[in-house]
Amino acid sequence: MKPTDLAVEWTEEVQTPGTIAPLIERLLEELGEDPKRDGLVKTPARVEAALRYLTSGYSMKLEEIVNGALFDVRYDEMVIVRDIEFFSLCEHHLLPFFGKVHVAYIPKHKVIGLSKIARIVDMYARRLQVQERMTQQIAETLQQILNPRGVGVICEARHFCMMMRGVEKQHSGAVTSAMLGAFRERQETREEFLSLVGHHSVQF
């Protein structure tokens, strides 16, 4: 599909309101706006399309994501996919948080296609989330499907609920980690992971 085709497809989706659009129209009214004015006429449909995309992780199925991309490989050193960008919605305020995920595992019998790791991150990011849960879900999912010697996940993010409201700290970041198997049991394994992803502070 060409980029122009994608643009047409998105436009058609925006112009087709569904069950969420009327709720957004009512929300605009409650906020004191006029949803019938030129700038807002199509806003409810656009918001619905955006929300359905940003929460599409609920309809993603792990078996369809992996799609058989598990391979028998004699390899027992650390595999790392770093700097996986993500966007998610905080379940407390429905405001975005965004950042990067670094994933590592030590194979026992199988490896997984590298792009599948990024898709697993997307599956959990495109839901109403908290960063701590998302980090743990990614790690536990890889542990489940690969049964490796260990899994390590580090998530670095900035949260609009901190940046736009509340304490209004625009430069603060949150770091969470989940360490399973060898990454939890062996300090040298954790330190190797941290060194290889260059983890010192939150950087975007």
Q: Does the pLDDT of residue 201 top 90, yes or no?
A: no
Q: Does the pLDDT of residue 204 top 60, yes or no?
A: no
Catalytic positions are 90-93, 131, 159, 161
Residues 10 and 79 in one domain: no
pLDDT in tens, 114-137: 999 999 999 999 999 999 999 999
Section 136-159 average pLDDT: 96
Cα(146)–Cα(141) distance, integer angstroms: 8
Length of the chain: 204
Residues 157 and 76 in one domain: yes
**Alpha-carbon 142 to chain mean position:** 15
Residues 95 and 123 in one domain: yes
Residues 39 and 74 in one domain: no
* CA angle at 58 for the pair 25 and 89, rounded to the nearest 5°: 60
In a domain, 59, yes or no: no
Residues 74 and 167 in one domain: yes
Residues 91 and 184 in one domain: yes
State the residue range of the domain holding 161: 64-196
Number of domains in the chain: 2
pLDDT in tens, 1-46: 343 343 334 444 444 557 999 999 999 999 999 999 999 999 999 9
Q: Which of helix, strand or coil describes residue 98?
A: strand
CATH code assigned at 175: 3.30.1130.10
CATH code assigned at 19: 1.10.286
pTM score, two decimals? 0.86
What pLDDT is attached to residue 6? 38
- Look up residue 24 and give its two tokens: 């957004």
Q: Percentages helix, strand, coil for the chain, rounded to the nearest 5?
A: 45, 25, 30
Residues 111 and 12 in one domain: no
Helix (H) or strand (E) holding 11: helix 3-14
In a domain, 202, yes or no: no
Task: Count the Cβ atoms, other than its own, within 10 Å of residue 119.
Answer: 17
Structural domain ending residue among the three candidates 28, 54, 80:
54
Residue 107's nearest CA partner among 134, 70, 154, 138 is 70
**How high does pLDDT run on average in the chain?**
88
Residues 110 and 76 in one domain: yes
Residues 128 and 40 in one domain: no
In a domain, 142, yes or no: yes
